[in-house]
Amino acid sequence: MEKKEDETLHVAMFPWLAMGHLLPFLNISKLLAQKGHKVSFISTPRNIERLPKLPPNLSSSITFVSLPLPPIPNLPPSSESSMDVPYINQQSLKSAFDLLQLPVTEFLRRSSPDWIIYDYTSHWLPPVATELGIKKAFFSLFNASALCFMGPPSSLIEDARTTPDDFTVVPPWIPFESDVVFRYHEVARYVEKTEEDVTGISDSVRFGYSIGESDAVFVRSCPEFEPEWFVLLRDLYQKPVFPTGFLPPPVSEDHEDDGDATWARIKEWLDKQRVNSVVYVSLGTEASLPREELAELALGLEKSKVPFLWALRNEPTRSEPLIPDGFEERVGGRGMVHVGWVPQVKILSHESVGGFLTHCGWNSVVEGLGFGRVPIFLPVLNEQGLNTRLLRGKDIGVEIPRNERDGRFWSDSVADTVRLAMIDDAGELKRTKVKMMKGLFGNRDENILYVDELIDYMKSKGSSHVG
Ligand SMILES: O=c1ccn([C@@H]2O[C@H](COP(=O)(O)OP(=O)(O)O[C@H]3O[C@H](CO)[C@@H](O)[C@H](O)[C@H]3O)[C@@H](O)[C@H]2O)c(=O)[nH]1
């Protein structure tokens, strides 16, 4: 049933319980709402509370559907997102998430959206949607090259790669030369430490069913940036694959509002720094470094002599962050350390920021390049190593050298890499190259064209409601 041009869609959104997923899902929801469509955004109470307030003109188009996270043993009651739970215990959060199947099904039955856009964790959702006659799209927050590396649904479900070494080579389904592979330590450290799969379902299997049983796959990237990977992805999936563009977030609608004290303090400090002089340091919402590496990072920043703003996350298992003793006094006014949530997009948009020392989470990459900030890569877990290889392959950014096997790195390499990115003459070409990426990643008018195409596609499939 094709929807007519002037008809509005009702789209349900169901992201994984992680800020790096909730925020881009909300971002695309706002774009749908701006185009006059209706969105039901499904999540848990604490996650909904953490999201940025909706602009008044969109608040009647986006309805938050708050479903309490069912309690399970070993998961503290307030732990509703991946940043509340240590990385090695993420499977417990997934067990609780799986218990949302019933309330989500009830909501979908009651409200009959035309489409549901869902994340990799809800592998159980496609059959539910099919039964209710609701179209279903898997929205990938991983880019096309990372998805290709992971492979077609059949391989994901088979989950045949088991050892860290298996992930350091180009898989057989990639028919061209590629260096998008993991380094040993990027897999080994986490494979070995992660708790047994308490859900019985690995992430690979979740991805496999989520992709394999979808009607379409939406990917937060574009063929201009990853041409060969999009061609391959369509071939591997044998179904419609749509780029969403980079969905550059609007600065004014970032997590914190303008009256926020954290932003006021950070802005005051940034305002005093020279244009393009500051390196912003953040490793996202899930990654954390062992104590000795954190110390090397701190010492490296100190040795670099470059002004820095370091956002250190509050780690769920530690009462206080592991900044080396006396660090803040030694760096004095040259460095600012903030523990806890910061308004990242606003920081990156500030003209004093020139570089971004990042774990290479895809949201951070998109946000940093959208403002032309030079990325300094320190990938830690998930697909962050693959993102780093993709970008380095295009001569974007610089990577902090590490030991291939154990991942150790030293303060001198941190200092040298930061100086190369920020001030050394040898880094000039890199800085120019990154400025050239600003349009592709940050231009909202250009990027929205992808969302327009995606909406046209969703309308063309309309609703397949049976009841
Ligand atoms: O203090 C903070 C911390 C984070 N953010 C925002 O939160 C998001 C974080 O996303 P990302 O940079 O991708 O980091 P993670 O949340 O750590 O990323 C997880 O999700 C990404 C998307 O799937 C993956 O690429 C990563 O590997 C995975 O660890 C970004 O929009 C940031 O702007 C803030 O605004 N303030």
Question: Which structural domains are found in the chain, ordered by start?
Answer: 10-249+443-463 (3.40.50.2000), 261-442 (3.40.50.2000)
Check residue 282 and report its DSSP letter: E
Bridge partners (DSSP) of residue 136 are 116
Q: Of all protein residues, whose CA lies closest to atom 24 belonging to ligand 1?
A: 361
State the distance from the centre of ligand 1 to the C-alpha of 158, rounded, in angstroms: 29
End-to-end Cα, the chain, rounded Å:
13
Own/partner long-range contacts of 391-394 (Cβ < 8 Å, ≥24 apart): 391/360, 391/365, 393/179, 393/180
Q: What pLDDT does 467 receive?
A: 35
Q: What pLDDT does 194 receive?
A: 59
State the distance from the centre of ligand 1 to the C-alpha of 391, rounded, in angstroms: 17
Mean of pLDDT values over 234-249: 97
Report d(CA 210, CA 153) in Å as an integer. 8
Q: Of all protein residues, whose CA lies closest to atom 4 belonging to ligand 1?
A: 284
HSE-CB of 41 using CA atoms within 13 angstroms: 27
Q: What pLDDT does 88 receive?
A: 80
Percentage of the chain beyond pLDDT 70 is 93
Out of 19, 336, 367, 378, mutate this one to test ligand 1's pocket (max ligand atoms within 8 Å of CB): namely: 19
State the distance from the centre of ligand 1 to the C-alpha of 344, rounded, in angstroms: 10
- Residue-wise pLDDT tens digits, 2-27: 555 668 999 999 999 999 999 999 99
Q: Residue 426, Cβ neighbours under 10 Å: how many? A: 9
Confidence of residue 193 (pLDDT cuts 50, 70, 90): low
- Residue-wise pLDDT tens digits, 276-289: 999 999 999 999 89
User: Taking Cα atoms as reference points, which of 110, 290, 115 lies closest to residue 218?
Assistant: 115
Mean pLDDT lowest among 87-91, 312-316, 328-332? 312-316
State the distance from the centre of ligand 1 to the C-alpha of 91, rounded, in angstroms: 19
- The beta strands (E) that lie in 90-185 are given as 115-118, 135-140
- Amino acid letter, residue 65: V
The pair of structure tokens assigned to 16 is 């994984």
Out of 347, 363, 371, 390, mutate this one to test ligand 1's pocket (max ligand atoms within 8 Å of CB): namely: 363
In ligand 1, which atom is closest to the CA atom of 358? 12
Location of structure tokens 């570089």: 355
Q: Of all protein residues, whose CA lies closest to atom 26 belonging to ligand 1?
A: 361
User: Taking Cα atoms as reference points, which of 363, 348, 373 lies closest to residue 286?
Assistant: 363
Q: Residue 330, Cβ neighbours under 10 Å: how many? A: 13
Q: Enumerate residues lining ligand 1, CB below 6 A.
A: 18-21, 23, 141-142, 255, 284-287, 311, 341-345, 361-364, 367, 382-384
State the distance from the centre of ligand 1 to the C-alpha of 385, rounded, in angstroms: 15
Q: Residue 58, Cβ neighbours under 10 Å: how many? A: 16
- Amino acid letter, residue 19: M
Q: What pLDDT does 324 receive?
A: 80
Helices 444-461 and 428-442: crossing angle in degrees, nearest 10, is: 40
State the distance from the centre of ligand 1 to the C-alpha of 24, rounded, in angstroms: 10
Bridge partners (DSSP) of residue 12 are 40, 116
Task: At 371, give phi and psi (nearest 5°).
Answer: -110, 10
SS3 11: strand
User: Taking Cα atoms as reference points, which of 107, 98, 120, 111 lies closest to residue 218?
Assistant: 120
H or E stretch at 40: strand 38-43
State the distance from the centre of ligand 1 to the C-alpha of 328, rounded, in angstroms: 25
Out of 85, 336, 344, 366, mutate this one to test ligand 1's pocket (max ligand atoms within 8 Å of CB): namely: 344
Q: Which residues contact 203 (CB under 8 A, 6 or more apart)?
A: 120
- Amino acid letter, residue 465: H
User: Taking Cα atoms as reference points, which of 68, 30, 47, 98 lies closest to residue 285?
Assistant: 47
Sign of CA dihedral 68, 72, 78, 82: negative
Confidence of residue 77 (pLDDT cuts 50, 70, 90): confident
State the distance from the centre of ligand 1 to the C-alpha of 90, rounded, in angstroms: 16
Q: Of 183-192, 258-267, 440-449, where does the model show the most confidence?
A: 440-449
- Amino acid letter, residue 392: R
Q: Which ranges in 272-401 belong to alpha helices (H)?
A: 291-304, 327-331, 344-349, 362-370, 384-393
Q: Of all protein residues, whose CA lies closest to atom 20 belonging to ligand 1?
A: 20
State the distance from the centre of ligand 1 to the C-alpha of 467, rounded, in angstroms: 39
In ligand 1, which atom is closest to the CA atom of 343? 35
Check residue 44 and report its DSSP letter: -
In this prediction the pTM is 0.95
Report d(CA 81, CA 40) in Å as an integer. 19
State the distance from the centre of ligand 1 to the C-alpha of 396, rounded, in angstroms: 19
Task: At 434, give phi and psi (nearest 5°).
Answer: -65, -40
**Phi-psi map region of 254: left, alpha, beta (phi>0 left; psi -120 to 50 alpha):** beta
